[in-house]
Chain A
Amino acid sequence: MGPSSADVMNNEAPSAKPKPWLWENLPNYEISARGCSQRTAQEIDLLLLALEALELQSTERMLTTAKELNLSDVIPNRVVLWRLRCTNPWRRSYMRRYLHLEQAKALTIIASARSRQLTFLIRQLVLAEQQLRDKELPWEQNFRLKWYLERFRSHFKERMNPRRARIAQYLELPDSLNQLAVSLLHKLLFATGTLGTQRLWCSLFDGEVR
């Protein structure tokens, strides 16, 4: 595969500042020479989609976080971020490209950093979901949880390819889409921990390495 425009753009603004500690300390797992598996790319994009549903202007915040963590050489702008996310095979604009290990690492570090910023909200939503489930009440009873679920469903519908059987299934059953949104919320909660990024990074390759 020839160099993508995303790769070309990566070289435009090399960052002189050191990368975060995690950059060197997240292991480089043995994966295919082409890049990360489709499941890894899909999972990262869904986690970012959940973050987008949690806060307004999420893309700008992700780019600011990339800059703060000196990851701008991997993710310099909105277009590159979008191109990397389009390695998710569920997307309407799926590009049949592979996510490289370094790109996956940068996105994972950003996702963890964003979720750490939102720790209080994520905890609140997970607690609210548990309380409503225990009382057998609908999720709409909690305004903030309802807002998150509606935004997640809307983003999902807008960006995922309805011609794929799995997506069609999700779109037909909004409750299953809510379940997916809640499960992503749980994953983001675990990513907020002291060793959350390492745990999240390892899980992205679980069942994918040689």
Chain B
Amino acid sequence: MTIRREYRLPNCSLILEGWSDEPSYASANDRPTLSVLVNVECHFSSQNESSVLKGDRDFLESLVRVVNSYAQWILSELELDQPQDWVEESVRIEPIPETNRHRLQYIYQDKSHLQQTQQVDLTTVELFDLVEAIDQLLNDGSTLPELSLSLKPHSRKVRRRTESVTQQAAPALAGVASLAVAAIGFSLIEPPAIEPEPESREEETFPGEDPRRENNESSQ
């Protein structure tokens, strides 16, 4: 018996069809487990019928991996040292600059084995609904129970420095430059003339004595 599971959100619906490989008596009372996936469809309500993404289990697994990773990027805004490698994936997603939209692409081979690319541009709310449909699927223990959410933060080793080397060196360079300017400025100031010290002092003063008074007395 074919089992159909739908995860419906206002802008996105994820529909899975397949069957259970459990004996029918095992799930007579419970909801049967969809364990063999035959077909997946991803509908977006704002798009036309031609933009429905259809595929098999590989498509679903790729969609889950790529959308998870992209949602993590939206939340963390982490710039990676090496860009994410989507070569092995049949699904790709990237931001469309200046628009707050996201381009979802599905690359597949048609019946004549020609590579085709299907493309859907999503708003952030549509993307969120897709993420939520996937999360509801992952949270549903009776549909492909072996699929689970795999979240792992990137190590700090792969984080791209947000400041370039020149920006990082700017404070040090500013310090060296101001020191150089100060040095040039000081070199322009004429050094004070050094007066030769008198050879011998005729008068010695002792503590408690005012030399000026002595001079006045001698002149009187």
Contact = CB atoms under 8 A, between A and B. Distances in A.
A and B are interacting partners: yes
Interface stretch (B18-26, B86-94, B107-115, B147-155): B147-155
Interface string B71-82: 110111110000
A203 B135 contact: no
Interface in A172-187: 182-183, 186-187
On chain B, which size bracket covers the interface?
A: 20 to 34
B151 A199 contact: yes
Interface string B129-143: 001100110110000
Given A193-B135, A207-B159, A186 B152 contact: no
A190 B153 contact: no
Contact of A130 (B100, B153, B154, B155): B100
Contacts of A196: 135
Interface in A98-146: 123, 126-127, 129-130, 133-134
A198 B131 CA distance: 13
The B interface, classified by DSSP as helix, strand, loop or mixed, is helix
Nearest to A37: B156
A126 B76 contact: no
B74 A187 contact: yes
Given A193-B132, A207-B156, A209-B155, 14 more contacts: A130-B123, A186-B100, A194-B139, A202-B72, A202-B151, A202-B152, A203-B76, A205-B153, A206-B154, A207-B78, A207-B154, A208-B153, A208-B156, A209-B153
A204 interface: yes
Contacts of A193: 128, 131-132, 135
Contacts of B138: 195
Contacts of B47: none
A29 B153 contact: yes
A202 B151 CA distance: 7
A184 to B, nearest CB: 11
Given A123-B125, A186-B74, A207 B135 contact: no
Given A129-B100, A195-B135, A202-B151, A190 B74 contact: yes
Contacts, number: 83
Nearest to A129: B100
A200 interface: yes
Chain A: interface size category: 20 to 34
B156 A209 contact: yes
14 contacts: A29-B153, A127-B123, A186-B100, A187-B75, A189-B128, A190-B131, A194-B136, A199-B71, A199-B75, A203-B76, A207-B78, A207-B156, A207-B159, A209-B153
| Interface of A: prevailing SS | helix
B180 interface: no
B124 interface: yes
B155 A203 contact: no
B99 interface: yes
B176 interface: no
A58 B40 CA distance: 42
Contact of B100 (A133, A190, A200): A133
A194 B135 contact: yes
Contacts of B173: none
Nearest to B98: A133
Contact of A206 (B100, B128, B131, B153): B153
A186 B95 CA distance: 14
Nearest to B136: A194
B158 interface: yes
B100 A194 contact: no
Interface string A70-82: 0000000000000
